[in-house]
Amino acid sequence: MALRINDVAPNFTAETSDGKINFHEWIGDSWAVLFSHPKDFTPVCTTESWAKDIEETQGHAPNYPIIGDAELNVAKLYDMLQASETPGQRTPADNQTVRTVFMIGPDKKIKAMLIYPMSSGRNFDEILRLLDSIQLSAKQSVATPVNWKPGDDVIIPTAVSDDDAKKKYPQGFKTHKPYLRTVSLKN
């Protein structure tokens, strides 16, 4: 069964570059980003992962635990394999683990997912923008519009009445449509 937003992220124990971790314990009360790669040394992966290659080609090395997952336990648990994948028959030519990104909240629930094909590198600016958005939404009970960036105006959810919005946002807000109200959270 495929994972969906607000499902509890499956827990696992795995050996990592930082030692053995229990994923839920490792998350603790923090946010986590779990992302997958095909086997190492694909050209696109070199721009995204593999510590020494990243440091050499991108100027920074990863500073988070990296799971080898040679048996595909985590990849299967999180459904990160293409439909055509045949575990046990993987070669560099058909190594088709998709580039999946899971954003997991302190409550261990999946808050967002992004899925990229093997041929496309991830957009880290978008990953960070999305993480900022879901963290702000969780903290402030707001929504973020298309192309939102930290510091931009946010949307007041329709579940908040105008009277409640006036109390919550005494600095005022702008009504664009009866269902679309924006507010600045800047101090």
Spatial distance between the Cα atoms of 119 and 99, rounded to a whole number of angstroms: 9
Annotated catalytic, 162? no
Spatial distance between the Cα atoms of 33 and 185, rounded to a whole number of angstroms: 26
Cross-sheet strand order for the sheet of 99-104: 32-35, 99-104, 110-116
Residue with tokens 């050209």: 43
Catalytic residue (one of 9, 32, 45, 110): 45
Indicate the burial class of 161 (C-beta count within 10 angstroms; 0-12, 13-18, 19 or more): exposed
Q: Which residues lie closer than 8 Å to 109 by C-beta, 6 or more apart?
A: 6, 7, 8, 9
Instruction: End-to-end CA distance of the chain: give it in Å, rounded.
Output: 44
Residue of 181, 48, 64 lying closest to 119 (CA atoms): 48
DSSP at 49: -
Catalytic residue annotation: 45
